[in-house]
Amino acid sequence: MFPALLSEWIKVKTVRSTFITLLLTFVVTVGLGALVSALFAANFNHTSAADRATFDATSVSFSGIGLGQLALIVFSVLVVTSEYSSGMIRATLAAVPQRLTLLLAKVVTVLGLVAVISLLTAFVSFFLGQALLGSHRVSISDPGVTRAVFGMAIYMTLLALLSVGVAFMVRRPIPALAILMPFFFLISPILNAVPKVKNVAHYFPDVAGRQLFSVRASSDVPYGPLAGFFIVLAWAVACIGIGYLLFKRRDA
């Protein structure tokens, strides 16, 4: 297992595009979160009483995840599909014929890298956002805040694993991104806005993930942060499991 892990680390380290997308995850999430926090602080006195009552300073700091997850998805997909695009997957399978070992090596590599970046992104986003919110800020020691910050990192990590699973299913970068991008940026938001189907959309990973990094639970979603964690985890495990079954049966 260790030689396979070392090989995957070398591949990720030497392919510039993967590290650039991982860096973009941090920059975009932190940058947009800071911008939204600053705008909230500047316009807070002009917001309605209803908006003030539901104001969640912690989740405002994490507003950048909406676009930041795009770069995270790209990174996770490229870790798997770049070898198929270049044809290098044949050499990889010749060196590591045990497909479960190879899949686990890629999963652990992504897990390790994304977990570190996610924690850094979550804490920097929170502290920078709260500094910009000024008198509307909250403290890391306030009830539910620490859980939400770690929840942000957990959601990002599970999202990356989900993306790895989808990448193993389809094996090519464009089809994988064509599934993931519309799902998170079009299908889920649209279905959440349709009354007859939004109860189903409540169990999509992005909706469940928001329960992880919000202090104030959404009144529309019928579960809390713990259930949200298990829902996102179930999506990630299911995608990786299906990806493995297909990876095991297919030729390179």
Contact 192, 198 (CB under 8 A): yes
- What is the rounded average pLDDT of the residues 7-25? 79
Q: Which domain holds residue 7?
A: 2-249
What average pLDDT does range 112-136 have in this prediction?
92
Residue type, 81: T
Residues of the chain with pLDDT > 70: what percent? Answer: 93
Q: Which helix (H) or strand (E) holds 179?
A: helix 173-182
**Model confidence at 10, in pLDDT bands (50, 70, 90)?**
confident
Q: Are 211 and 224 in contact (CB under 8 A)?
A: yes
The reported pTM is 0.91
Reference 118, options 81, 79, 75; nearest CA is: 75
Measured at the CA of 22, the angle between CA 74 and CA 190, to 5 degrees, comes to 45
From residue 165, give the alpha-carbon distance in Å to each of 149, 194, 201, 246: 25, 28, 20, 10
Q: What is the pLDDT of residue 13?
A: 73
Mean per-residue pLDDT of the chain: 86
Are 121 and 160 contacting, i.e. CB atoms less than 8 angstroms apart?
A: no
Q: Where are the alpha helices (DSSP H) in 134-172?
A: 145-170
CA dist 90 and 231 (Å) reads 35
Indicate the number of domains in the chain.
1
pLDDT one-digit tens code per residue, 27-85: 999 999 999 989 888 877 767 666 666 678 888 899 999 899 999 999 999 988 888 77
Neighbours of 13 (CB within 10 A): 12
pLDDT recorded at residue 247: 85
Residue 252 vs residue 195, higher pLDDT: 195
Residue 97: other Cβ atoms inside 10 A = 9
Rg for the chain, CA atoms, rounded: 19
Encoded tokens for 78: 């490229």
Rounded to whole angstroms, how far apart are CA atoms 117 and 236? 18
Cβ atoms within 10 A of the Cβ of 127, count?
15
Q: Residue 45: count other Cβ atoms within 10 Å of its Cβ.
A: 7
55 three-class SS: coil
Check whether 6 has a pLDDT greater than 80. no
